[in-house]
Amino acid sequence: MRKHNFNSGPSVLPKEVLEQASEAIINFNGINLSLLEIGHRTNWFVDVIEESKLLVKELMQLNNNYEVLFLHGGATTQFMQVPLNLLNENETAAYCDNGIWGSKAISEAKIFGKVNVIASSKDQNYNYIPKSFTLPDNTKYLHLTSNNTVEGTQWHQFPETTIPIVADMSSDIFSRQLNFNQFQLIYAGAQKNMGAAGVSLVVIDKNILGKVSRQISPILDYRKHIEAASLLNTPPVFAIYVALLTLRWIKKEGGLAEMENRANKKSSLLYNTIDSLPLFECAIKKEDRSKMNAVFCIKEEVLQNKFLEECKEEGMIGVKGYRTVGGLRVSMYNALSLESVEAITMLMKNFANKYS
Amino acid sequence: MRKHNFNSGPSVLPKEVLEQASEAIINFNGINLSLLEIGHRTNWFVDVIEESKLLVKELMQLNNNYEVLFLHGGATTQFMQVPLNLLNENETAAYCDNGIWGSKAISEAKIFGKVNVIASSKDQNYNYIPKSFTLPDNTKYLHLTSNNTVEGTQWHQFPETTIPIVADMSSDIFSRQLNFNQFQLIYAGAQKNMGAAGVSLVVIDKNILGKVSRQISPILDYRKHIEAASLLNTPPVFAIYVALLTLRWIKKEGGLAEMENRANKKSSLLYNTIDSLPLFECAIKKEDRSKMNAVFCIKEEVLQNKFLEECKEEGMIGVKGYRTVGGLRVSMYNALSLESVEAITMLMKNFANKYS
C-alpha cells in the first residue's frame, strides 16, 4: 500500500521523480555510470545544473537581473548567509516575526547588523500575518517567510515597497503564481516542493550584491557562487538532480498555474471539512491560512492520539503537529494527490461521527 | 560494459552500495516509503545517523573525547568553519602549504586570524611533503592536508606535537590504519571514499571547542551541531545514507586494514609500471607518493591525447590530470578494483611498446 504522506518536509515526491532518481543511481542517462560516480565538471552534470537554472527562470518568469544558485545546506544556512552578504554592522534590516523560522532568521541577522522587528504575531501564537506596518527609509531590506510551515499561515499578498524584499519560500516555492520579480532575494530548502534535502535554491537580483564592507568567506559569498555558476566547490550532485526532475515534473504538469489550482482544491477541501466539523478547530485567521500546511486540532484533546492512531491504520503519516506546537498538521505539497486529502477528510468525518 | 572509473571525486562507489541506495529511493527498509520522503527526526532516519556515527568511531578507533558530525557542504566549507570555530583574530595557526586545497584553506584562515605558513612545497610544484619544521609555542593548531588529490602526494608519517592537529582527509579517509586520536579535528568531504557529494564528515576532540571569543552563527558552530546530534537543521538525508552504506561495506570487507592492503597492492602495481616504462614519468618524490591519486605524465607530450583516447576506447574514465595541472591522474579509491588498475597498467605497457 502506498502511504498518504502528509509530512512537512522531507515530504512526498512525485512517483516518477523517485523512479527516475532511483534509476540514475544505477545508470545515469544510459551512460553506464551512476549519477554518484560522475565528475561535477563533466558535461553530463553541467547540463543538469544549467537545465535546472533555466527551468527555475522559466517557471518563475524571472527577468534578466536574476541569478539562480543551488547551494549546499538548507534555509537555516541562508538565515546566516543573507545578512552576511547584505547587511553592514551599522545598518538595519526589517524582519517580520511570523513564526519559528522567521524568528530564527532574526537571531542570525542580529549577529551581523541591526534588526528592526517590524511586525510580529507572536502575541497571538503566530495565528495570523500582520500586514500593516511602515518601513523606515533607511531599511536595508525586508525579510519575511512567505509560508509558515509550523504555524500554518501564509502571505497571500506581499507588501508594496521599494525596499528590497528577501523571502524565505522554503515551504511554498513553486506552489503558486506570483510576480517573483517583486522580491530581490528568494531562498528555499529543496525538501518540500523541490526535491530532496541537502540543497537550497537561491534566486538573487544581482544588483543588491557587493554593498557590504566586511570580508566574506568565498564559500559564503553569493558573488563567488554566481561567478562559478554554482560550481565553486563540489555541489550536492544528487540533490540538484532530484530538483531538476521535480522542476521538469512541475512544468510537464502545467507549471505554477496548475500547482496553484491543485493547492486551491486540496486546501479548500481540507479547511472546509475542518470548519464544518465542530470536533475540529483551526485557530488560524481565515484570510491567512496556508495552502501548504494546515495546522489544526481536535477540541477534545484526549481524542487526539486516537485520531493519530486511526491515521496510522489508514497508512497516513506526518499528521502530528510540530514538536513545539502540538495538535495536528496536514501538509499538502505539490506532489500530494487530491486523493490523499479526500482520504483524510473522509477519516475526519467518520471520526467526528463516532466521537462527537 | 561497466567502466573503469579513475575519477578523482565524485568517484567510483561499491556496486552493492549503489544498488542499495537505488532501492532506498523507491522503498526504504521495506517501509513502502522513499528515503527522500521520510522525516529526518523519525526513528527511521535517526537510526541511520546513529549507526553511521558508531561505524566511524569503530573504524577509526576513536576514544571518547571525539564527536562525529555529518554536516552540509564539502571540505571547502570546512576551510572556513575550522578557523571560525578555533582561531581568534589575534591568534596564530600554522598551515602546511602542500597543494591547491591546503592553499585555499590558508586563504580562508587569514579572514579569521593570523596564519603562519610553516612549510610549503610550492617552490617544487608541490611534488613533495616538507616534513621538517618547528612549530612556535603559541600556535593554536596545525593544519595539513593528509592527501593532496590534485598533486598526488600524501603524508605517510605525521608530525609529533602537543599542538592540536587539524587534518583535511577528504581524499584518503578510511583508506588506511592510523592513530586517528593523534588528530584533534579531522574533516572530509564524502564524495571520494565515503559516498556521494553533499555531506562532510567532521570528527572533533570536543576539548578544543569553546575557546574563541567571536560570536559564531549557530549553523556554523560545531558545538551546536554536537548538542543537536547532527540534526540542528534538516540534514542531507540521502548523502548520509550513502555514507552509512559505504561504511558498512568497508567494515564488511575487512575494515581499514583491508582497505590499506588493497591500496598498497593497487598503488604499487601502478607506480611500479610507471617507473618501469621510460615513456611515463612520475615527478613526485617516491616516499611522498599518494596511494589514492597517482599523478604522472607521458614524457612525449604529443602522445598524451592519444593515450587518453585509448583509455576512452577501453572504457576508462577520469584519467586526465586536474585542469590547472595537466598530465595524467589515476585515482584509486577504496571502491576501485585491482582489475581496473591491472587494465590501465596493461594499456600503459601496450602503449609504451607501440610508441617508445
CATH number, residue A181 = 3.40.640.10
Per-residue b or e along B270-291, where b marks 16 or more CB atoms closer than 10 Å to that residue's CB: bbebbeebebbebebeeebbbb
SS3 B26: helix
- pLDDT confidence of residue B154: 98
The DSSP string of B82-111 is HHHHH--TT-EEEEEE-SHHHHHHHHHHHH
- Helix, strand, or coil (residue B18): helix
Burial A289-327 (b: 16+ CB within 10 A, else e): bbbbbbbbbbeeeebbeebeebbeeeebbbbbbbeebeb
Q: Is residue A134 part of a domain?
A: yes
pLDDT tens-digit series, residues A126-163? 999 998 899 999 999 999 999 999 999 999 999 999 99
Q: Are residues B210 and B241 in the same domain?
A: yes
* Interface contact flag, B239 A198, Cβ < 8 Å: yes
Is residue B59 classed as helix, strand or coil in its secondary structure? helix
Q: What is the pLDDT of residues A168-208, one digit of tens each?
A: 999 999 999 999 999 999 999 999 999 999 999 999 999 99
Query: Is B115 within the bounds of a domain?
Result: yes
Tens of pLDDT, residue by residue over A76-124, are 999 999 999 999 999 999 999 999 999 999 999 999 999 999 999 999 9
Task: For residue A77, give the nearest of B37, B72, B191 by CB distance.
Answer: B72
Amino acid at B73: G
Q: Which segments of chain B have a pLDDT < 70?
A: 1-2
User: Do B168 and B238 belong together in one domain?
Assistant: yes
Name the active-site residue from B140, B155, B172, B192. Answer: B192
Q: CA-CA distances (angstroms) from residue B351 to B212, B277, B290, B304, B348?
A: 57, 10, 24, 11, 5
- Residue A2: pLDDT band (50, 70, 90) is low
Point out the domain boundary residue: A253, A280, A305: A253
Is A314 domain-assigned? yes
CATH number for the domain harbouring residue A330: 3.90.1150.10
Pick the catalytic residue from B101, B155, B221, B288: B101
Q: From A220, which residue of chain B is nearest by alpha-carbon distance? A: B77
pLDDT at A1 over 90: no
pLDDT in tens, A291-311: 999 999 999 989 999 999 999
Cα angle value B237/B242/B247 (rounded, 5°): 125
Cell numbers found for residue B285? 618524490
pLDDT of residue B325: 84
Select which of A53, A97, A101, A266 is catalytic.
Answer: A101
Give the model's pLDDT for residue A140: 98
3-state DSSP assignment of residue B329: strand
CB B87 within 8 Å of CB B110: no
The CA distance from A356 to the nearest CA of chain B, in Å, is 32
Residue among B222, B227, B200 at smallest CA distance from B212:
B222
Same domain, A111 and A173: yes
Decide if A122 is inside a domain: yes
Active site residue A306: no
> Do B241 and B261 reside in the same domain of the chain?
no
Q: How far apart are the first and last CA of chain A?
A: 30
The pLDDT, as a whole number, for residue A245 is: 98
Q: What are phi and psi of B147, to 5 degrees?
A: -140, 130
CA atoms within 13 A on the CB side of A166: 29
Q: CA-CA distance, A129 to A97, in Å (whole number)?
A: 9
Do B149 and B272 fall into the same domain?
no
Which among B218, B253, B288 is the end of a domain?
B253
Note whether A21 and A104 are same-domain residues: yes
* Residues B29 and B160 placed together within one structural domain of the fold: yes
Q: Which of B53, B97, B155, B168 is catalytic?
A: B168
Nearest to B347 by CA among B321, B322, B328: B328
- Residue B6 resides in a domain: no
Chain B residue numbers with beta carbons less than 8 Å from the beta carbon of A242 are 36
Written as nine digits, the cell of A212 is 557590504
Q: Are A111 and B217 within 8 A, CB to CB?
A: yes
The residue among A17, A232, A238, A336 with the most chain B CBs within 10 A of its CB, best to mutate, is: A238
- The pLDDT value given to residue B341: 98
If 0-12 CB within 10 Å is exposed, 13-18 middle and 19+ buried, where does residue B163 land? middle
In this prediction, residue A324 carries a pLDDT of 83
E strand or H helix at B334 = none
Query: Quick one: DSSP state of residue A325?
Result: T
Residues of A in Cβ contact (< 8 Å) with B319: none
Q: Who among B3, B8, B111 is closest to A217 (CB)?
A: B111
**Pick from A216, A232, A253: which residue ends a domain?**
A253
- In chain B the first and final C-alpha atoms are separated, in Å, by 30
Distance (Å, rounded) from C-alpha A41 to C-alpha A21? 20
Task: Let me know if residue A279 belongs to a domain.
Answer: yes
pLDDT for residue B179 = 98
> pLDDT at position B2, please?
66
pTM of the model: 0.97
- Provide the β-strand partners of residue A200: A71, A189
Same domain, A208 and A260: no
Write phi, then psi, for A46 (nearest 5 degrees).
-60, -40
Minimal CA separation from B278 to chain A, in Å = 31
Q: Are B181 and B300 found together in one domain?
A: no
* CA of B154 vs chain A CAs: smallest distance (Å): 21
Is B192 marked active-site? Answer: yes
Cβ pair B26:A19 closer than 8 A: yes
On average, the pLDDT of chain A sits at 96
Which residues on chain A are in Cβ contact (under 8 Å) with B41?
Answer: 323
Domain total of chain A: 2
Within this chain, do residues A249 and A261 fall inside the same structural domain, yes or no?
A: no
> With the C-alpha atoms ordered B241, B243, B244, B245, is the resulting torsion angle positive or negative?
positive
The answer to whether residue A248 is domain-embedded is yes
Same domain, B201 and B55: yes
Q: Which domain holds residue A267?
A: 256-355
Write the pLDDT tens digit of every residue in B246-267.
999 999 999 999 999 999 999 9
Query: How far is CA A99 from its chain centroid?
Result: 14
Active site residue B249: no
Residues in A touching B10 (Cβ below 8 Å) = 36-40, 234, 237
- Indicate whether B245 and B262 sit together in one domain: no
Does B214 map to a domain? Answer: yes
User: Residue A325's pLDDT is what?
Assistant: 85
